[in-house]
């Protein structure tokens, strides 16, 4: 059973909302401490005033996180539901989100081994959500901002507001409209020509995250390409460059060792060959 807190307790936990960790369309995240002997640091997300959309995201997040228990999934500690005041309480991640981790800690010299381990951890978290959790959970909003990094640089998937639960044997998910963040949304979310919506949509988003981790999505002219290549085909574009041995051109300002170059190429292959990853997932499900 999840622990329910009053809004007054929430105020005490955050010292009257003194320390802001971040802001977004969902609301504001504050740092606080659990009101018990442990005094453990927590992150407390205060959702915006009640609306039908916010209410659905609130329930989605509570249900999804309460059913998931994995080293690469953020742990849920409790919630507040008091009138129009709604809050979700989960573990605090001292190294922030992946996008900040990349921009702040790796702007001059990237730790490729750390990035590789983060990519592996996120993949393990997604595999758990899709295949090993009590209910199959499709996240639908995998992006660097929703991947948090703990003190040991272990990645944890967070923000399940757009998630959808289903049965393990179900493959296609019924969707009324597209959900997610532009740049990470799988093509089948927009057009049935690419197939039905399923957990594979998370795999596509994961591939785009890996490409962003290695800097591929920051290429000059990605969004204004003269060849009119849309973001849907961007992974194929990167893979073509890999075949022409042009992958390392973004790293000209950084001296990297041969071992790191192998890691970058491996991550490029994973990020661009999302269709191959999906094939492997389908194959494993038949065994």
CATH superfamily, with its number, for domain 98-286:
Transferase(Phosphotransferase) domain 1 (1.10.510.10)
pLDDT of residue 249: 47
**141: annotated active-site residue:** yes
CATH superfamily, with its number, for domain 3-91:
Phosphorylase Kinase; domain 1 (3.30.200.20)
45 is in an annotated binding site: yes
Where do the structural domains in the chain lie, given as residue ranges?
3-91, 98-286
pTM above 0.95, yes or no: no
The number of residues making up the chain comes to: 287
pLDDT of residue 215: 75
pLDDT of residue 55: 80
Q: Which of 36, 99, 111, 141 is catalytic?
A: 141
CATH topology agreement for domains 3-91 and 98-286: no
Is there a contact between 168 and 136 (Cβ–Cβ < 8 Å)?
A: yes
* Per-residue pLDDT in tens (0 to 9) along the chain, 287 residues: 689 999 999 999 999 999 999 887 778 999 999 988 888 999 999 987 755 557 888 888 999 999 999 999 999 999 999 988 999 999 999 999 999 888 876 655 678 889 999 999 999 999 999 999 988 999 999 999 999 999 999 999 999 989 998 877 776 777 767 788 888 988 888 877 777 788 888 998 998 899 888 875 554 444 444 344 444 445 555 555 555 555 554 454 555 667 777 888 888 777 776 555 655 555 555 44
């Amino acid at each position: 059973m999840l622990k329910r807190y009053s809004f007054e307790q929430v105020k005490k936990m955050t010292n009257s909302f003194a320390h802001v960790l971040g802001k977004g369309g969902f609301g504001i995240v504050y740092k606080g401490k659990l009101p018990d002997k442990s005094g453990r640091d927590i992150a407390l997300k205060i959702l915006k005033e009640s609306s039908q959309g916010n209410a659905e995201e609130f329930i989605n997040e509570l249900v999804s996180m309460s059913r998931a228990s994995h080293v690469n999934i953020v742990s849920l500690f409790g919630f507040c539901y008091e009138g129009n005041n709604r809050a979700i309480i989960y573990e605090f991640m001292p190294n922030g989100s992946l996008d900040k981790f990349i921009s702040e800690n790796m702007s001059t010299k990237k730790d490729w081994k750390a990035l590789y381990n983060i990519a592996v951890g996120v993949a393990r978290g997604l595999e758990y959500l899709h295949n090993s959790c009590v209910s199959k959970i499709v996240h639908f909003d995998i992006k660097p901002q929703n991947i948090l990094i703990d003190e040991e640089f272990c990645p944890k998937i967070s923000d399940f507001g757009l998630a959808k639960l289903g049965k393990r044997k179900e493959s296609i998910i019924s969707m009324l409209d597209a959900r997610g963040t532009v740049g990470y949304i799988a093509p089948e979310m927009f057009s049935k020509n690419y197939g039905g919506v399923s957990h594979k949509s998370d795999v596509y988003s994961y591939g785009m995250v890996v490409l962003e981790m290695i800097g591929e999505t920051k290429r000059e002219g990605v969004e204004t390409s003269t060849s009119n290549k849309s973001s849907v085909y961007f992974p194929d574009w990167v893979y073509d460059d890999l075949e022409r041995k042009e992958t390392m051109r973004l790293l000209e300002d950084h001296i990297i060792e041969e071992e790191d170059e192998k890691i970058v190429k491996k991550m490029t292959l994973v990020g661009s060959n999302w269709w191959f990853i999906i094939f492997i997932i389908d194959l494993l499900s038949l065994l």
